[in-house]
Structure 1
Amino acid sequence: MSDFASIPLSVEIIIAVLSLCAMSYTGVIATAVNRVTRSEAAEAAAHDAGGKYIANIVNERASAITATHGARVVFAAIFAISTAAALNHFVQNFWLLLVLSLAVIAGGSAIVSFVFPGSFGRKHPLGVIRSVNYVLWVFTKLTALFAGRRDTADDDERETEHEDQLALMVERVSESEAIEDDERSLLHSVFELSRTRVREVMVPRTDMISIGGDESVDRAFSLFARSGFSRVPVIGDSVDDLRGVLYLKDAIRRVHHRVNPKEITVADVMRKPVFVPETKMVDALLHEMQANTVHIALVVDEYGGIAGLVTIEDLLEELVGEMVDEHDVAHPEVEALDDGTFRVPARLPIDDLGELFGLSIEDDDVDTAGGLLAKALGRVPITGSHTVVQGLELAADRFEGRRKRLATIIASLAPEENIDE
């Protein structure tokens, strides 16, 4: 340490204190840079000249953080050297000097962490960056020039990290006893909304009820009444040839002017369809449907085919849970009626259905009574649908829920003359 003997002790102490403060503040700066979003930086740039430097720093976020870490290492080295040089005025033994230097460095770092805590950078990120924006901008550009840029990849990693942190915060808040069960459920639903894709909440094409464009509006009224839906997709030759969407209120408005519903076709009244990819996020679609006052959209798969449909009610159910129709009532599992007839749940396994009548029902494609009825019909059952299959006469009975799912089926032994051999 003889090289530092000519430096006054007071100067060495001042250098040590300043370098320690600078080292700690660079950590605060790194926290602030990591905290500011691009939108906040753009807003700052729009309000004052210094804000444009903040925007540039945030756009070069990875390089800016690398620059602050590099500065932190430099200031740490200066602090260590100046501390050792100052102690060397009092201690000549090398090992004792080393121990004392490490102790002072550790203690000084702990003390300054209280002066410049990391939380300061999280609470006042724009103010922290603004205090050093010119210098930081220069070093950010130099770092980007020599070290190369990975800002896009780092931003993606940071976004994922922020989502994980948010998930942890939601989990911790949910564990609080001050949060009610329904509030806890809603909190989780809001968070999961941004992670849910449309294909997870849509009505699949196999469950879609549609109508041909050349059908009469009178026929459409019958379909509306039997299905319970107020919006129905309009198709051409097949489901993939989707022409539009028919709204019940549009049809009523059209025939209200004393037009014979048998004389106009569905194609004359339908609206243009709205298509969305099945990979779209639910929260984004919900905002779009609200902004454009759209209530139903057709979901398209990666090959351009129709994968299903989704309504704004489907999206809202992801937040508040299933919305039950006011006419829905609870039904018993199996209800015996007159003359050996049973009202059974649509979800009743086909083995249990067969046991009610002493029959052995086998089908590799379906597992439930509702599936058996739908397969025999070749379409989605609606009110009045009935058929004979494997010695049983099945008729759609009750529908429930906003999606009008088949709830119960009337099952009875089919007359022998109606059994398809």
Structure 2
Amino acid sequence: MNEAPLGLLFGILAGLILLSGFFSGSETGMMSLNRYRLRHRVKSGHRGAKRAAKLLEQPDTLISTILIGNNLVNNLAAAIATVLAIRLYGDNAVVPASILLTLVFLIFAEIIPKTVAAYKAEVVAFTVSHILLPLKSLLFPVIWLVSHVTHFFLRVIGVEKNSDEEQIGLEELRTIVDEAGHLIPRHHRGMLMNILDLERITVDDIMIPRNEVFGIDIDAETDEIIHRLRDAEFTRIPVYDRDIDNIVGILHQRDIINSVDAQGQVQREALMKSVRSPYFIPEGTPLHTQLFNFQKQKRRMGIVVDEYGVMQGVVTLEDLLEEIVGEFTSNLSTDPDDIQPQPDGSYLIDGTTTIRDINKTLKWELPTDGPKTLNGLLLEQLESFPEALAGVSIQPYQFEIKEMKGNLIQSVQARRSGKRRR
């Protein structure tokens, strides 16, 4: 090498710098690939994706291939740079030449290739896979030796290879969906997030509370039942015996037609025969579980009961689906004036309004891990039924009870101060 022309040595050194940049960029490009997008491209039949996926099936072997090539190139470049320095400037130029070579490699063989590969991971990875696959086969004996030595020392220090398939948790999936940006339309992104949140929400959060359930008493007079049915705003109506806690079934509005005789009169016995047996749901059931149960039981309405079998409310399939897609039906039972903005910036809120509805409408962060309604939340804070109108502070929110009826808070004036909870 000492007799080789200087021009040839400089040419070989330049080629080695390019090869070092190739290996550095290859490593970054292959490791930066989005694995889920890569799988999609493989299923679509993309050849470059198939090559890259084949290389990534054994990441330790891939890294060994790249590092063997990179270290070999770097050592050769260092040797040639040393020869050039000695031939041009003598022994004293070896150290300055090493520093200069380090800077050149850092810029042109590390930073620039890796930056390009990080921004254009797919383009780089699919391109370099043409070379890496045959190179992997060519270097197989060396790779086999290096891999076995490496695995031996890893076992010695207690590091075992994880054979589990790469998985992703719910929180990671939420982050992926949330950061999808324009790749997923905003409305669809919201629906996906709602589906993922079904596990966190229970039937208690969306049920129609007991005091708002519309039903008919099977023990009432026929005329009274007919009158109640005429005023019904729902397709399915709970039927109870004397007390709402004693639910005996569910009546569908269409069954009323089947109960009308030739004279146009509703036959009570025929009507009662149309009542379907009730379907009970334990309180605290997660929505994703209840959605499956509705499908399995072929039901569209369930009665939520506590551990003692006491009715807490009613949940319908429509309520559950609206948690995913948003409101899509005309819910006549929902009062549009439950939350009324006031001129002074406060809100007049009905006491039976759920905490989740308040948080959704006003973008507040009231606690949802306890009582489900504003009435329940304020009574929990007061720890008693107020004898007179009272004020409650749940930082940074202030509530002033405006009206009570018996033991039920009817309306509350609420506002949010500038302070935020810590």
TM-score, L = length of structure 2: 0.52
Equivalences for residues 342-357 of structure 1 within 5 A: 347=351
Residue segments in structure 1 that go unaligned for 5+ positions in a row? 174-182, 334-343, 352-358, 376-405, 409-421
CA distance in 2, matches of 1:90, 1:368: 91
The aligned counterpart of 1:25 is: 26
The aligned counterpart of 1:80 is: 74
Equivalences for residues 161-310 of structure 1 within 5 A: 161=172, 163-168=174-179, 170=181, 186=187, 189-190=190-191, 192-197=193-198, 198-199=201-202, 201-203=205-207, 206=210, 209=213, 222-225=227-230, 228-233=233-238, 245-248=250-253, 250-256=254-260, 258=262, 260-264=266-270, 266=272, 268-270=274-276, 273=279, 278-281=285-288, 285=291, 296=301, 309-310=315-316
The aligned counterpart of 1:149 is: 162
CA distance in 2, matches of 1:347, 1:361: 16
CA distance in 1, matches of 2:52, 2:304: 41
Aligned pair in 2 of structure 1 residues 310, 325: CA closer, same or farther (>3 Å)?
closer
Amino acid at match of 2:175: D
CA distance in 2, matches of 1:243, 1:126: 66
Aligned pair in 2 of structure 1 residues 346, 119: CA closer, same or farther (>3 Å)?
closer
Determine if contact 2:249/2:277 at 8 Å carries over to the other structure: yes
Helix, strand or coil at the partner of 2:237: strand
Aligned pair in 2 of structure 1 residues 162, 104: CA closer, same or farther (>3 Å)?
farther
Shift of 1:252: 3.0
Shift of 1:245: 4.2
CA distance in 2, matches of 1:156, 1:188: 18
Shift of 1:273: 4.9
Residue segments in structure 2 that go unaligned for 5+ positions in a row? 87-92, 152-159, 341-347, 353-373, 379-385, 391-400, 413-422
Amino acid at match of 1:193: N
Shift of 1:193: 1.3
Shift of 1:82: 2.8
Q: CA RMSD in A?
A: 6.2
Identity %: 12
Amino acid at match of 1:246: L
Amino acid at match of 2:234: F
CA distance in 2, matches of 1:332, 1:165: 34
Amino acid at match of 1:81: N
Shift of 1:271: 7.5
Determine if contact 1:32/1:128 at 8 Å carries over to the other structure: no
CA distance in 1, matches of 2:288, 2:76: 56
Helix, strand or coil at the partner of 1:149: coil
Aligned pair in 2 of structure 1 residues 316, 330: CA closer, same or farther (>3 Å)?
closer
Determine if contact 1:54/1:130 at 8 Å carries over to the other structure: no
Shift of 1:69: 4.7
Shift of 1:316: 2.9
CA distance in 1, matches of 2:128, 2:226: 65
Determine if contact 1:201/1:315 at 8 Å carries over to the other structure: no
CA distance in 2, matches of 1:124, 1:331: 57
CA distance in 2, matches of 1:313, 1:124: 49
The aligned counterpart of 1:381 is: none
Helix, strand or coil at the partner of 2:84: coil
CA distance in 1, matches of 2:80, 2:136: 30
1:258-281 deviation per Cα after TM superposition (whole angstroms, max 9, x unaligned): 584411355634378597983345
CA distance in 2, matches of 1:273, 1:55: 50
The aligned counterpart of 2:97 is: 97
Aligned pair in 2 of structure 1 residues 326, 212: CA closer, same or farther (>3 Å)?
closer
1:105-152 deviation per Cα after TM superposition (whole angstroms, max 9, x unaligned): 1221344347x5334335798888798679889999x79x95522545
Helix, strand or coil at the partner of 1:156: coil
Amino acid at match of 1:155: Q
CA distance in 2, matches of 1:299, 1:37: 45
Aligned pair in 2 of structure 1 residues 301, 279: CA closer, same or farther (>3 Å)?
farther
Helix, strand or coil at the partner of 1:232: strand
The aligned counterpart of 2:381 is: none
